[in-house]
Chains A and B, each alone.
Chain A
Amino acid sequence: MRAFAYHAPSSLAEAVAVLEREGPGGRILAGGTDLLVQAKERGSVPRYVVSLRDVHELSRVSFDEAGGLEIGARVSLGEVADHPEIRRRFSAISTGASLVGSYQIQNRGTVGGNLCNAAPSADCAPPLLVLDAVIDVHGATGRREIPLVDFFVGPGRTVLGADEVLVSIRVPSPPSKSGSAYLRHTPRQEMDIAVVGVAASVALDARGDVASLRVALGAVGPTPFLAREAGARAVGQAPDDATIAEVARIAAGEARPISDQRGSAAWRRHLVEVLARRAIKIAIGRALAA
C-alpha cells in the first residue's frame, strides 16, 4: 500500500480546516473498515486522511422526545445497535447496525462511515431512509442539512463536497403507534453482504389503519432508495395481509436489481417481495405493541 499523510485534529473546526488547507485527495477516517480495506485491496489510497479519532464532540448519541435522535459521526455501530432507546423506538436502525460485519467491525465502524461509503448494500441506509433521517454536515463554507433521501448519488458517491464532514445523523421521534423493521438476505449467517435489504416503517392512525408506510430497498439499485409508490399505496388501508402483499408486490416492481456474483436480478426482485412482506408485518406488529 502506498504511504499517505495522517492528520488527527482534535476538533471539528480543525478537521474542516485541514480539509480546506490540504485540498483534494483527502479522506475522512472514522472506523476505517471501508477506507482501509479499499486502500489495501483496490489500491484506492487517499493522498491524506483526516482521522476523527480525537474529535470527541462527535462521539455522542442523544435522544429526547422533542428533538429526536442524534447519532454523532464517531459513534460506533455497536453502541447504536445496543442503545436501549434506539432499540425501542428505532428498531430498524439498531437491527441494521447490528447486522454490519461482526462484533469486531461494529466496534470500529460507524453509521456515518456506512452512509458516506454509499454502498448500494449499506445496511444502515434503508432503516434511516424509512425513518426520515437528515444528515448534518459541516464544510469550509459552513453548515448544512441534507435529507438522507437526497444524499446518495451512485455507488460510492454522495452529495458531500471534498471539504465537508458528516457531523451527525438526526432522526425525528416516530409518532405513537408506529414501528419499524429491517431484514436482509445473505447466504451466510453473518460477515456477509446483503443480496437484498428491505426496511419498513409503519404508523397507524386512531382507527388502526395505515397512516403512513415507508419501504426502503438496499442492493437492488445504484443507491439505497425509498420505494415511494409502494409506501403511498398503503395509506388509509387496513394493515391486513392483502394490503401487505400488495405493497410488497409494488416494492418488488420498484426494485432495479442487476445480476452479479451475489445473485440474479430475478431472484433479487423476488427476495424484495418476500422480505418486504415480512418486514412490513414485523413493523405493524411493533406498531400495534407500541
Chain B
Amino acid sequence: MTTTQIPTGIPTRTPEADVTVPTRTVIGQRVPKIEGTEKVTGKAQYGADTSRPNMLWARFLGSAHAHARIVSIDTAAARALPGVHAVVTGADLPGIVARISETAAAPEEFDVPSRGKRILAWRKAVFHHEPVAVAAAISPTIAEEALALITVEYEPLPVVLDPEVSMRREATPIHDGVFTETFAGKARTPSNVAKVTEMSKGDVDAALASADVRIAASFRTAMVHQGYIEPQACLAEYAPDGRFSIWTSTQGSFGVRSGLAGFLKVPPRRVRVTASEVGGGFGAKGAMTLEPICAVLAYVTGRPVKMQLSRSDVLRATRPAPDTSMHVEVGARRDGTLVAARAHFVWDVGAYPGGGSVGGINCSFGSYAIQDYHYVGYDVLTNRPSTGAYRAPNGPQGAYGVESALDMLADELGMSPVALRLKNAVAEGDRNPSDVPYPRIGLKETLNAIASHPAWTSPKSPPSREGWLRGRGVGCGLWGGGVGTSTAHININEDGSAVVVTGAVDLAGTRTTMAQIAAEELQIPYERVQVVQADTDVAPFSNPTGGSRITYSLGTAVYRAAIDARTQLRQRAATVLRCPPDDVEYRGGELWSTLAPAHRLTIGQVARGSSGSGQGPVVGTGEVTHLLRAPAFATQLVEVEVDPETGAVVVTNVVAAQDVGKAINPTAVEGQIQGGVVQGLGWALTEGFVYDNEGRLRNPGLLDYRMPTALDAPNVECLLVEVPAVDGPYGVRGVGEVPIVPTLGAVANAVYDACGARVTTLPISGEPILTALADPARGKSSVAWTPPALSLDIDVVIEEEVEEQEEVIE
C-alpha cells in the first residue's frame, strides 16, 4: 500500500507552545505500535481473558418472538438444576436494585422504553432474541442447560419491520411510552416516530422550481453490523464492602461507571471499571451491554460472574447500524451550481429510541454549499434490535444517497463528477446544514488530490476479466469532529523517562500517538515514554473513546500535561541552577541556565533531585473540555470490475484522499483509512441483515453475514492531505470516522460507470445489479416522496433534555 503525504503549505499554529521546537523528531514518524507485540503474540488481555477464582458463567435466553407480550416466565426447573446459582428475569430487577442501593425503586422505572434501562425484556419483548432471562452457573454448559429449562409463555403481537409502514399515523405504537420528539417539543400521543429532526433554510420549493436541472431519487440501505472481531465480554465481582469491580470490553470505562452506577442507583465510587484491550468497537462498545446483567448476577450470587456473547448473539441482539430509506432531490444551474436540496431520511432505529440524527444529516449534505434546503430525518421504531453507533453514525447511509444523486446530476449536466463536486465544495466560512460555519477545512484539497491522481486522469484500463466491465466512481464525505473531556497525567521518573496515565480506552493504537506527543514535547526518545491506560479508581477522568476524538482531545491533554511537566522541570532546575526559571533553557532532555550554559542537568537529575528536595516529584497534568471542532473531509476514488451477466463486483483499487490535519503517525492513520474503506466496501457490496417475516434474523453468522475478507480487500492507496486544524496541537484532526463516509456512494457510482446500472438499494452485489440493468430508467425517475401523516399534536412545552450518555459516543 502506498501513501502520499500532501503538504499544503499552511503554517501550523501550535497553541500554547512556550518554547519553539526547531524540528520535530517524533511527530510524523512511523514508530511501531506500543501494544503491537502483545497483540500479535496473543498476550494482550481482551474482554474474555480475565477470570477470578470461584467464577460463575452467565448466559441469556433470547425472546422467541420479535414482538410479544410476556405472559409468564417459569424459572423453577432452571433454578433447581445442580450447578445453577441464579436465574434472573426482568421482573426481579426492581427488587434486586432496591437491595443493592437500599432505596426503593418503583418497578415502572425498569419498564421504560430505553436502550440503557431495559436490560431484560419485561412484560413485553420487542425484538427477536431480546434477553428475557439470564442464568449463572458453574459452567457455561450448565448455564445453557438451565436456559433450556425456562418456560416462557408468550402472546405474540403483530411484527412491524418496515419503518415506512411503522411510521404511519395508523400504525400501532410498539411502546406506550414513546412520544415523538421534535425541536419544538414532544408529541402527546405515543408513536413509532421517536424523533423528527428538521433543518431548513430559504425557500426550497421556489429554488427547486427555478433550477435548470433537477434530480429526485430514492435509496435504501440494509441494516448492517459493525462486525468487531471480539464479541462483548464482561466480568463482574461484588465485594462485601459494597463495591462492584467490572472488567469489560468497552470504549469508555468512565461511561460504564456512570451508566452502571445510575442503573444500580449507587454512587459512582461503588463502581470500579477496568477496560480490557478492545477487539474492535466502531461505536458499538460505547454503550453498556453486559455490565448491568453481570453486576446484578454477581450481587445475587455473591460470586464473580463472567458473560461472553456468541457471534450469533452479537449479530442478533447487539446494536447494529440503522437501515435507511432516503428520498433526495437536488437542483442545479446549467453550470453545475447547486441551488437547492430537499431530503427525507427514514432511519430504522430498531426497538428502542436513540440515534445520530443531527450528525447524520450534517454528514450527508455537509460537503456542499447549498443556498436553499429542507432536510427532515425520522427516527422510526420497528421490531428489530435497537441500533447504535457505527463509525460516523448515519453518515455513510445519507452520503450514499447524496453522492449517488450528485453523480446522476453530473450525468444530466454532462459534467465531470469531480468538477461538479469541486464547484460546490464547502470551504472555510461556509455553513453546514445545522447552520454552523466551518473553520479551516480541507475538502477542496482532497478533491484536487483525486482530480490530479493518475487513477482519475489516465484513461480507464481494460478489464482484467473477459466479459467484465470496468468503472470508477468518486464520493466525498465528512465527519464534524469529536471533542469531549480528556485528562492526562505525566509522571517523570528518576531516570528521566516518563509515564503517561490516562483513563481513555485505546481502540486504534492511540497509546502510541500519545507517547509520540509526550516524547516530542518532553524532547526525550519515544522509547522512554510509557503509556498506561488505567482503571476508573486510578486514572484521571476521560469521556469514552469515539467520534474520532482521541488524538485531537486526549492528544491536547497529553500535550498540556507534557508542557506542564516541562514547566515544573524548569522551575526545579532553576532552584538547583540558582537562576530565575525564565533563564532555564530546556532542550533535548537537558536543562541549563543561559547564564552558565556549561552546567547541564538531565531531566533524570532534576526529577531525582526533586523527589527529595522538598518540591516533590514532577507530575504534569493536562485536561481539556472545550476545543473547537475540527471537521475532517475525504474524497475517495473506487475502481471496480463488474460481471454484467452475474452481477458480481470486484473492487480493484481505491484511492482515499483525506484531510488528516497532521498525521502524527502515518502508519496508524493509514490503518484507520484502510479499515474504514474496507468496512464501507462491505456495507456497499455484500453486508446486510436479512429478516424473515417474523422478524428473525436469517443470517446470524459470518458465513451469510458477508463481511469482506482479506481477499476482497483491494489495494487502498492513502493520500494524506494535511490542512492543519485551527485548534489542538500540531493541526491534527480526528481520522477514524471519515473514511467510511464516502465509500458507499463511490462504489455505487463506480458500478454505474462500469455497466450503467444505477443501483438504489444496498448491498449492491449480485441481483440488484441485474435488476437495475433490466430497467435502465430506474433511479432516473423524478418521483418526489410525500412523507406519511404522523401523529404530531405537539406539546410546545419543551421538556427538560434527558442526558443520554450514549449519544456522545460514536
Query: Known: A41-B701, A261-B699, A262-B704. Is A190-B711 also a contact (CB below 8 A)?
Result: yes
- Interface segment among B76-84, B171-179, B448-456, B644-652: the answer is B644-652
Which residues of chain A have C-beta atoms less than 8 A from B708's C-beta? 188
Is the CB of B51 closer than 8 A to any CB of chain A? no
Query: Which residues 178-226 in A have Cβ within 8 Å of B in the complex?
Result: 185, 187-193, 195
A1 and B709 in contact, given A263-B767, A267-B766 (Cβ under 8 angstroms): no
* Chain A residues near B704 (CB-CB < 8 A): 193, 261-262
- For the complex, is B73 an interface residue (Cβ under 8 Å from A)? no
A12 an interface residue at 8 Å Cβ cutoff? no
Given A189-B712, A271-B646, A274-B646: A195 in contact with B766 (beta carbons within 8 A): yes
Residue of A nearest to B766 (CB): A187
User: Which residue from chain B places its CB closest to the CB of A40 in the assembled complex?
Assistant: B310
Residues of A near B703 (CB, < 8 A) are 192-193
- Chain A 1-20, CB within 8 Å of chain B: the 1/0 string? 11100000000000000000
From B650, B690, B709, name the one whose CB has the most chain A CB atoms within 10 angstroms. B709
- Inter-chain contact A188/B706, CB cutoff 8 Å: yes
Determine if B686 is an interface residue (Cβ-Cβ < 8 Å).
yes
- Residues in chain B near residue A267, CB distance under 8 A: 647, 766-767, 770
Given A185-B648, A261-B690, A190–B767 Cβ distance below 8 Å?
Answer: no
Interface residues of B in 703-758 (CB under 8 A from A): 703-704, 706, 708-709, 711-712
A270 on the B face (CB < 8 A): yes
The smallest beta-carbon distance between B294 and chain A, in angstroms, is 22
Q: Considering residues A187, A188, A191, A192, which has the most beta carbons from chain B within 10 angstroms of its beta carbon? A: A187
- Kindly identify which residue among B698, B765, B770 contacts A187, using a CB–CB cutoff of 8 Å: B765
A261 and B698 contacting across the interface, CB-CB below 8 Å: yes
Residue of B nearest to A190 (CB): B711
Q: CB of B141 within 8 A of chain A? A: yes
A residues within 8 A CB of B770? Answer: 267, 270
Instruction: Determine if A176 is an interface residue (Cβ-Cβ < 8 Å).
Output: no
Q: How far is the CB of B772 from chain A (nearest CB, A)?
A: 13
Instruction: Tell me, in angstroms, the Cα distance from A3 to B767 when the chains sit together.
Output: 43
**Closest chain B residue to A275, Cβ basis:** B646
Number of interface residues of B (CB under 8 A): 25
Indicate if B312 sits at the interface (CB-CB under 8 A): yes
- Judge if A260 is at the interface, Cβ distance under 8 Å: yes
Q: Is the CB of A189 within 8 A of B650?
A: yes
B685 within 8 A of A: yes
Q: What is the CA–CA distance of A18 and B770 in the complex, to the nearest angstrom? A: 53
In whole angstroms, what is the CA distance A3 to B140 when docked?
12
Say yes or no: B767 contacts A191, CB within 8 Å: no
Interfacial chain A residues near B685, Cβ < 8 Å = 187
A264 interface hit (Cβ, 8 Å): yes
User: B141–A191 contact, CB under 8 A?
Assistant: no
Q: For the complex, what is the distance from the CA of A78 to the CA of B332, rounded to whole Å?
A: 58
**In contact, A191 and B709 (Cβ under 8 angstroms):** yes
Cβ distance B506 to chain A, nearest Cβ, rounded Å? 29
A264 in complex: contacting residue of B650, B763, B767, CB < 8 Å? B767
**Residue of A with least CB distance to B703:** A193
By the criterion CB–CB under 8 Å, are A188 and B766 in contact? no
User: What is the minimal beta-carbon distance from A219 to any residue of chain B, in angstroms?
Assistant: 13
Judge whether B767 and A188 touch: CB under 8 Å: no
**How far is B765's CA from A270's CA once the two chains are assembled, in angstroms?**
15
- The residue on A at minimum CB distance from B699 is A261
The CA of A267 and the CA of B774, in the complex, are separated in Å by 13
Q: How far is the CA of A187 from the CA of B684 in the complex (A)?
A: 12
Q: Digit string of A31-60 for contact with B (CB within 8 Å is 1, else 0)?
A: 000000000010000000000000000000
Among A3, A191, A261, the one with the most B-chain Cβ atoms within 10 Å of its Cβ is: A261
Chain B residues near A2 (CB-CB < 8 A): 141
Is B141 within 8 A of A1, CB to CB? yes
* Cα of A103 to Cα of B137 in the assembled complex, Å: 38
A260 and B698 within 8 A (CB): yes
The size of the chain A interface, using a CB distance under 8 A, is 23
Query: Is the Cβ of A188 less than 8 Å from the Cβ of B712?
Result: yes
Query: Residues 762-780 of chain B: 1 if any A CB is under 8 Å from the residue's CB, otherwise 0?
Result: 0101110010000000000
Instruction: A264 to B646: give the CA distance in the assembly, Å.
Output: 13
Q: How far is the CA of A51 from the CA of B93 in the complex (A)?
A: 47
Against A, the Cβ 8 Å flags (1 = close, 0 = not) of B674-710 are 0000000000011000100000001101011010110
Q: Which residue of A lies closest to B645 (CB)?
A: A274
Residues in chain A near residue B648, CB distance under 8 A:
185, 187
Query: Which of chain B's residues have a CB closer than 8 A to the CB of A188?
Result: 686, 706, 708-709, 711-712
Distance A190 CA – B686 CA, assembled complex (angstroms): 13
B709–A189 contact, CB under 8 A?
A: yes
Q: Which of B751-810 contact A (CB under 8 A)?
A: 763, 765-767, 770
Report the bound CA distance from A13 to B91 in whole Å.
58
The residue in chain A whose Cβ has the minimal distance to the Cβ of B692 is A261
Q: Which residues of B contact A263 (CB under 8 A)?
A: 766-767
Q: Would B686 and A187 count as touching, CB distance under 8 A?
A: yes
Q: Determine if A185 and B646 form an interchain contact, defined as CB atoms under 8 angstroms apart.
A: yes
Which of B686, B765, B766 lies at the interface centre, i.e. has the most chain A CB atoms within 10 A of its CB?
A: B766
Q: How far is the CA of A274 from the CA of B646 in the complex (A)?
A: 7
Q: How far is the CB of B498 from chain A (nearest CB, A)?
A: 43
Q: Determine the chain B residues whose CB is within 8 A of the CB of A260 once the complex forms.
A: 698
In chain A between 118 and 153, which residues have their CB closer than 8 angstroms to a CB of chain B?
A: none
Closest residue to A1 on the B side, CB-wise?
A: B141
Q: Which residues of A contact B709 (CB under 8 A)?
A: 188-191
Chain A residues positioned under 8 Å from B763 (CB to CB): 187
> Which residues from chain B contact A1 at a C-beta distance below 8 Å?
141
A261 → B minimal CB distance (Å): 4
Q: Cα distance A19–B708 when bound, in Å?
A: 41
Can you name the residue of chain B whose Cβ is closest to the Cβ of A192? B706
Complex CA gap A195/B767 in Å reads 11
Residue on A with the closest CB to B310?
A: A41
B765 to chain A: which residues have CB within 8 Å? 187
Say how far B698's CB is from chain A's closest CB, in angstroms. Answer: 4
C-alpha gap A91/B424 in the complex (Å): 55
From 343 to 358 in chain B, residues with beta carbon under 8 angstroms from any chain A beta carbon are none
Residues of B within 8 A of A192 (CB): 703, 706
Q: Which residues from chain B contact A41 at a C-beta distance below 8 Å?
A: 312, 701
What's the Cα separation between A191 and B709 when bound, in Å? 8
A267–B646 Cα gap in the complex (Å)? 9
Q: How far is the CA of A93 from the CA of B709 in the complex (A)?
A: 25
User: With the chains together, A185 CA to B650 CA distance in Å?
Assistant: 13
Binary per-residue interface labels of chain B (639-657) against chain A in the complex, 1 for a CB within 8 Å, 0 otherwise: 0000001111010000000
Which of B698, B703, B765: most chain A Cβ within 10 A? B703
Q: How far apart sit A267 and B645, CA to CA, in the bound complex (Å)?
A: 11
Which residues of chain B are near A190, meaning CB under 8 Å?
709, 711
Distance in Å from the Cβ of A256 to the closest Cβ of chain B? Answer: 18
Q: How far is the CA of A264 from the CA of B768 in the complex (A)?
A: 11
Q: Which chain A residues numbered 50 to 106 have a C-beta less than 8 Å away from chain B?
A: none
Bound Cα distance from A7 to B112, whole angstroms: 53
User: B650 — nearest CB in chain A belongs to which residue?
Assistant: A189
* Segment 261-290 of A: residues with Cβ below 8 Å from B: 261-264, 267, 270-271, 274-275
State which of B312, B690, B711 has its C-beta within 8 Å of the C-beta of A189.
B711
How many Å lie between the Cα of A27 and that of B348 in the bound state? 45
Q: Could you say which residues of chain A place their CB within 8 Å of the CB of B767?
A: 263-264, 267
Please measure, in the bound complex, the distance between the C-alpha atom of A274 and the C-alpha atom of B647, giving whole angstroms. 11
B564 CB to closest chain A CB (Å) equals 51
- Tell me the bound Cα distance from A223 to B138 in angstroms: 42
Can you give 28 contacting A-B residue pairs, CB < 8 Å? A1-B141, A2-B141, A3-B141, A41-B312, A41-B701, A185-B646, A187-B686, A187-B706, A187-B763, A187-B765, A187-B766, A188-B712, A189-B650, A189-B712, A190-B709, A190-B711, A191-B709, A191-B711, A192-B703, A192-B706, A193-B704, A195-B766, A261-B690, A261-B698, A261-B704, A263-B767, A264-B767, A270-B770
Q: A261-B699, A261-B704, A262-B704 are in contact. List 11 more A-B contacts (CB 8 A).
A: A41-B312, A41-B701, A185-B646, A185-B648, A185-B766, A188-B708, A189-B711, A190-B711, A260-B698, A261-B698, A275-B646
10 smallest beta-carbon distances between A and B, as pairs: A261-B690, A267-B767, A189-B711, A261-B698, A187-B686, A274-B645, A261-B699, A190-B711, A191-B709, A187-B765
